[in-house]
Amino acid sequence: MTVVAELSMTRNALIRKSAADWRVTPNLADPQAQRAAFSWDRIGAELRGQAVEAHGAAGDFNIGRLAVDRNTDGAHAGRIALRFLPPDGMPHDLSYGRLRQLTNRFANGLQQLGVGKGDRIFVLAGRIAPLYVAVLGSLKNGSVVTPLFSAFGPEPIATRAKIAKARVLVTTASLYRRKVAKIRADLPTLEHVILVDDGGGPIDGTVDYERWMADASEAPPEVSTTPDDMALLHFTSGTTGTPKGAIHVHDAARTHYATGRYALDLHPQDIFWCTADPGWVTGTSYGIIAPLLHGVTSIIDEADFDAERWYRILHEQQVSVWYTAPTAIRMLMKAGPELARKYPYPDLRLIASVGEPLNPEAVWWGKEVLGLPIHDNWWQTETGGIMIANIPVLDIKPGSMGKPLPGVDAVIVRHAEQGAVEVIDVPDVEGELALRTGWPALFRGYLDQDERYRKCFSGDLYLTGDLARRDADGYFWFVGRADDVIKSSGHLIGPFEVESALLEHPAVAEAGVIGKPDPMAGEIVKAFVSLKPCFEAGEALRLELIGHARKRLGAAVAPKDIAFLAALPRTRSGKIMRRLLKARELGLPEGDTSTLEAGA
């Protein structure tokens, strides 16, 4: 046997779990029995019961109040809800009690502006306290909130704000100057811009966050919401067309609560760190809502990734449950084991990861370097919460996403003739991953795109668009995406959005965008363009196009690489064949090219 084969065998070996592995009894200690006894109604009754007991708000079901107000009784009011770590300087904390006051003020401030139930609020900021106050305060007000990634350029911001008909934007003065000022005239529905002053003085036509908050009442806002009221709008990307606004309702709290308990194993004394930005669904569901629903303390790092800083945070903040992503883990691995071993992590008891495939090496690296394996789990914007997970008591098959959580029924399906979908009952067969509807966080629509929404379902099955297989032990394995969307550093990027921005450049005639495998980011965005007559391919134009895309889309979305082609391969019906561009780029078989336009 070769050394490589031997290595990969050990990397794929089962990681056995036993009672000696946990410091607290896992919440899902007997998965089979607890799965059989599980009911979403009971989870709802538990959340609602505690809310009624605490505040007597019988008919109300509101993520903001469940997450914050429910945890402000007695001694718990003083417990730290959110601890912010600025890039430099001392941490600052918001207790549950203080968070209650601030989010009430935010909701009442919105009322004063005439902004109410169902109105759309966008939040564009780094991971600073006002972002968290704005998200939770908007929810308390019954408004619909969208946290946007602050690395987005003006174009993705404008596209999303137009789709949502955003009435309010909460942002910082510097982001406003850099990204919003130039698009504001294009956003006729945007009535109020609330600005956190991070320097540079007041700006005409905006409301100063601090002053506005100071003027607002701290009394509980007089708004009530039902489980089916719209709460969050998360944008996600498809292969074609504009981004889709996935609608989530207040009832999603039941899933956030249950999955926080079972997949992340949150216990009352935990210090929890979710490294995702709230601009992506993980950073909202698990960076804001789930830990607060459990009354634990969340660490929020305001700075960008830095390997040593992260290890220091795990150590100094005594993080016990850490939820991160494969790209970050790969970057930590690259920084070397010596750096990791510089600090002890006596409090750390669970590491989980999501967002992209987690290689077996990474799972083992956790075990060998940090003393704990990494627990991969799977979900997506549309599912609203974790669906499949390696829970603490489960033996880990490195490379697998784990098993469906209680209340989740996952199957593998194949698409049969005439649009029918058949469940594949035999193990180890690849097909599309589908979930039986019935969990509360399932999205309730793509905003104004009913047809696109309907296409995601077949009977009572939600079709995820991911290819996977289930093995004989019931573990699920990710195979790939069924469509052309790109996953770069855990961020889902729609090729169409990137192609559209490139086409706005006067030199570009055609653009086709693919995800190119990358050892660190999973995939990077690569664009192929053909030029209009009179333009000449060359390094100067290539750099200009990259700069153009970055300015419009922001660094997180723009292509890292651009190549020129005389013409792009198209189907006879005129669609650019991204699949073929990718196969050619990677030197893979071109597959079925029967629909290829002659000569391409």
Determine the length of the chain. 600
Interaction between residue 477 and ligand AMP (CB under 6 A): no
At 112 the three-state DSSP class reads: helix
Q: How far is the CB of 277 from ligand AMP (least distance, A)?
A: 12
Interaction between residue 432 and ligand AMP (CB under 6 A): no
Total residues in contact with ligand AMP, by rule CB under 6 A: 18
Burial-class residue 450 by CB neighbours within 10 Å (0-12, 13-18, 19+): exposed
Interaction between residue 487 and ligand AMP (CB under 6 A): yes
Interaction between residue 277 and ligand AMP (CB under 6 A): no
Q: How far is the CB of 123 from ligand AMP (least distance, A)?
A: 18
Select 212 or 462, whichever has its Cβ closest to ligand AMP.
462
Residue 488, strand partner residues: 491
Q: How far is the CB of 328 from ligand AMP (least distance, A)?
A: 13
Considering only residues 203 through 242, tell me which ones interact with ligand AMP, judged by CB under 6 A. Answer: 236
Considering only residues 314 through 373, tell me which ones interact with ligand AMP, judged by CB under 6 A. Answer: 354-357
Residues 393 and 524: their CA atoms lie apart, in Å, by: 35
Q: Hey, CA dihedral for 313, 317, 318, 324, is it positive or negative?
A: negative
CB 233 within 8 A of CB 248: yes
Please give the C-alpha separations between residue 424 and each of 411, 421, 433, 438, 463, in angstroms, as whole numbers: 7, 9, 10, 20, 14
Residues 104 and 106: their CA atoms lie apart, in Å, by: 5
At 60 the three-state DSSP class reads: coil
Residues 61 and 218: their CA atoms lie apart, in Å, by: 20
Q: How far is the CB of 481 from ligand AMP (least distance, A)?
A: 5
Among 172, 259, 327, 381, binds ligand AMP (CB under 6 A): 381
Interaction between residue 376 and ligand AMP (CB under 6 A): yes
CB 504 within 8 A of CB 469: no
Among 229, 251, 466, 484, binds ligand AMP (CB under 6 A): 466
Select 103 or 324, whichever has its Cβ closest to ligand AMP.
324
Interaction between residue 255 and ligand AMP (CB under 6 A): no
CB 31 within 8 A of CB 261: no
- The distance in angstroms from the start CA to the end CA of the chain is 44
Select 259 or 380, whichever has its Cβ closest to ligand AMP.
380
Backbone angles phi, psi at 72, to 5 degrees: -115, 20
Q: Per CB under 6 A, which region of 36-44, 251-259, 374-382, 423-431 contacts ligand AMP?
A: 374-382
* Residues 340/346/350/356 CA torsion (nearest 10 deg): -10
Q: Per CB under 6 A, which region of 3-11, 95-103, 376-384, 403-411 contacts ligand AMP?
A: 376-384
Select 35 or 481, whichever has its Cβ closest to ligand AMP.
481
Considering only residues 518 through 547, tell me which ones interact with ligand AMP, judged by CB under 6 A. Answer: none
Half-sphere exposure of 246 (CA within 13 A, CB side): 20
Among 62, 104, 380, 489, binds ligand AMP (CB under 6 A): 380
Q: How far is the CB of 507 from ligand AMP (least distance, A)?
A: 31
Interaction between residue 402 and ligand AMP (CB under 6 A): no
Angle between helix axes 154-164 and 539-553 (nearest 10 degrees) is: 40
Among 144, 401, 461, 558, binds ligand AMP (CB under 6 A): 401
Among 131, 492, 498, 521, binds ligand AMP (CB under 6 A): 492
Strand pairing of 207-208 and 192-196?
parallel
CB 499 within 8 A of CB 512: yes
Interaction between residue 144 and ligand AMP (CB under 6 A): no
Interaction between residue 285 and ligand AMP (CB under 6 A): no
Among 132, 176, 235, 378, binds ligand AMP (CB under 6 A): 378
Residues at the contact surface with ligand AMP, assessed by CB under 6 A: 236, 281, 354-357, 376-378, 380-381, 401, 464, 466, 478, 481, 487, 492
